[in-house]
Structure 1
């Protein structure tokens, strides 16, 4: 994986980093939004349960036989709606069911809940049937002098549907956001690295014969501009070095040419005067002097 990653272009790696960063941000944002909405919907459901409890507690009474009864009263005389919407149970502190009102008939209740464990205020969620989740509040109350525990129910279907819709929106929107971020990242990476491509193309054209050329530097104030400036300074030093080398080569050629020319001239003279030993001796001495001069010149180089 590491070798594969290193073989990819910097443009592609930057694009993938943009996409990965966007995916992480979207995931964190979705989680935060989900948690906030879930908590607020849960708090609203608990608030409605408290209101239901207050209304129901005020309407509980005992008949002449001591049985719990519900004196149902709607907000505007609509007792029928109140009977349909109310969902609660009344238990004694001894865990005996005293009254039950569910939105279904008693015979249709498949999974009745057990008695409350403790006589305290508590909220919790249970699944009564498949995909039927309800929020429950249990709270102690008094019907005249009788201590009871009222268990109030609220259907969580709408709450869960809202949360599911939020998840669906983020599931659909997240790939689009990552795709757009990838496009934006590719555009930004391409635009940011365009000076590098231009510098690389120009650097390919520079040879020992064209050291006077320089890399393009549209913005000398950013990091790429500073890099181009350093390369241009290096090219300037190379150009100066090549100029000095050419000058040195020309001077060395001139200095070497003089003793070599003298050696050649003396040798030609010696060939023409080959029958004169004295002249030959002087010629050889002169050639040795020029050879020594040439040796001294080479050592000085």
Structure 2
């Protein structure tokens, strides 16, 4: 089964409407249940208290007659006046002689009571009498029951008024209070009907309002999506509008803008790299092609001329190979620790004093040919100084710094190499006594294909401008850094590499 695909707008709208519908249904159910309970309790309370009030009035009247000594006089009037049916508001109150009603219930053809009770009330009265005789009910208990009359459902309260001591001749009266439940049932039906119509209407209103609110809230997100979809490699300078900088969409827009800035910088760096590489490769290729064309243009040439042409081709091919090797080395360093790369860095314990000693020995003949003295401070070569990394790459880093220093060191000057160990890092400095680097160019010298200040004798042997870029990339790949120190004369490059801790990790 395919998953349902819906936009965030539709999901938010449906979720909002669904949650509101559930809340309304739960609230309506609880409210209707509470209302129904209150209505029924009120009806029971009304009939119960009405029966008690009538019974209390009868007892008060009997006591007053007894106090005046008019019991016999009042009794005849009482028998004619008390046994009657009253209508008070929505209540029907029956005051009847219990014995008379029981006789009428047992022999309806022989006895006709003064007050005729509904059939359902007489049946209830007989049941209550049986419970009293069985001892399940006391004589003063008020019995409230639901009945079904010809007019509909009703609530009845039965209360027996027993003669007091000394009034044995008084009849036992039965107070019956009846209240119809038709009005309450109609009220509950109207409330239920209102709820059944109100919940769907409220859900529909919530659905529409939720849709409009969600659409308005997600409008900035839709603008971000549309604007981002229109950004291509040719328009990476465009930025997304940040309407509300402190909400979630504002932070998203800022993050995307930062990402676009980084991607734009990467694209520009890549384009510049390709352009610089093409420029560096174009010159030796053009020289090789020109020498070949000139050599092939004549039908015959001497051996000396062929040798000179081949020497030029060989020299330029060596330069091409050096540039290609440098580019390949940069690719390897950029790969770093990425898994799956065949040329990823190694992670071995490298003895830096020994590595620096080998690098200095490799360039000593070149320094002697340029009449430059290489000086390594012996007290700084601590035998226990080691870092974790790739020995070949670290050797290339030191060679590039020495080669750069020799290119700019004048004849008769000194290139000094020094190592210092701090608590958790190795500081390697290479200083020359050349013309130095202007402050404005100190960061650019680490960019790829950027040539520093050249001496006149290097005009024909200048490199591709990748030495310092490779050195910085190697230092960063080993968790270190490289920079220029502010010195009054010449240029001093400092490399800081984390030391290997006794546990085998970087300190």
* Same fold, TM-score > 0.5, yes or no: yes
Partner of 2:92: 85
Q: Structure 1, residues 121-150: CA drift from partner, whole Å, max 9, x if none?
A: 466553425882222335565233588886
CA distance in 1 between counterparts of 2:117 and 2:266 reads: 103
CA distance in 2 between counterparts of 1:282 and 1:89 reads: 146
1:241 match: secondary structure: helix
Aligned ranges 1:245-264 → 2 under 5 Å: 245-264=270-289
Larger-gyration structure (1/2): 2
CA distance in 2 between counterparts of 1:11 and 1:90 reads: 75
1:133 match: secondary structure: strand
After TM superposition, the runs of 4+ consecutive aligned structure 1 residues lying more than 6 A away are 60-63, 88-92, 146-149
CA distance in 2 between counterparts of 1:21 and 1:69 reads: 66
CA distance in 1 between counterparts of 2:281 and 2:80 reads: 127
Distance change >3 Å, CA 70–CA 106, structure 1 → 2: same
CA distance in 2 between counterparts of 1:73 and 1:130 reads: 23
Q: Is the 8 A contact 2:158 2:174 kept in 1?
A: yes
Offset at residue 47 of structure 1 (A)? 2.8
Is 2:210 the partner of 1:185?
yes
Q: Is the 8 A contact 1:91 1:99 kept in 2?
A: no
Q: Structure 1, residues 209-257: CA drift from partner, whole Å, max 9, x if none?
A: 0000112221111111111111111001011111111111111011001
Is 2:307 the partner of 1:281?
yes
Q: Is the 8 A contact 1:49 1:152 kept in 2?
A: yes
Q: Is the 8 A contact 2:83 2:97 kept in 1?
A: no
CA distance in 1 between counterparts of 2:289 and 2:240 reads: 49
2:235 match: secondary structure: coil
Offset at residue 153 of structure 1 (A)? 3.2
Aligned ranges 1:1-301 → 2 under 5 Å: 3-4=3-4, 7-57=5-55, 58-59=57-58, 71-72=81-82, 81=87, 85-87=92-94, 97=102, 105=116, 112-113=123-124, 114-116=126-128, 117=131, 118-119=136-137, 121=141, 125-129=145-149, 132-138=152-158, 141-144=161-164, 152-272=177-297, 274-301=300-327
Distance change >3 Å, CA 294–CA 237, structure 1 → 2: same
Q: Any stretches of 5+ residues in structure 2 without a counterpart?
A: 63-70, 73-77, 106-112, 328-507
Q: Is the 8 A contact 2:92 2:179 kept in 1?
A: no
CA distance in 1 between counterparts of 2:220 and 2:241 reads: 8
With the length of structure 1 as denominator, give the TM-score of the two structures: 0.80
Distance change >3 Å, CA 238–CA 250, structure 1 → 2: same
Q: Which is helix-richer, 1 or 2?
A: 1
Offset at residue 183 of structure 1 (A)? 1.1
Distance change >3 Å, CA 138–CA 42, structure 1 → 2: same
Distance change >3 Å, CA 69–CA 195, structure 1 → 2: farther
Aligned length: 287
CA distance in 2 between counterparts of 1:28 and 1:70 reads: 56
Higher relative contact order (CA 8 A, sep 6+): 1
Distance change >3 Å, CA 283–CA 125, structure 1 → 2: farther
Q: Structure 1, residues 134-171: CA drift from partner, whole Å, max 9, x if none?
A: 22335565233588886543221111211111111111
Q: Is the 8 A contact 1:125 1:133 kept in 2?
A: no
Q: Is the 8 A contact 2:120 2:148 kept in 1?
A: no
Q: Is the 8 A contact 1:139 1:150 kept in 2?
A: yes
CA distance in 2 between counterparts of 1:171 and 1:8 reads: 29
2:3 match: secondary structure: helix
Q: Any stretches of 5+ residues in structure 1 without a counterpart?
A: none
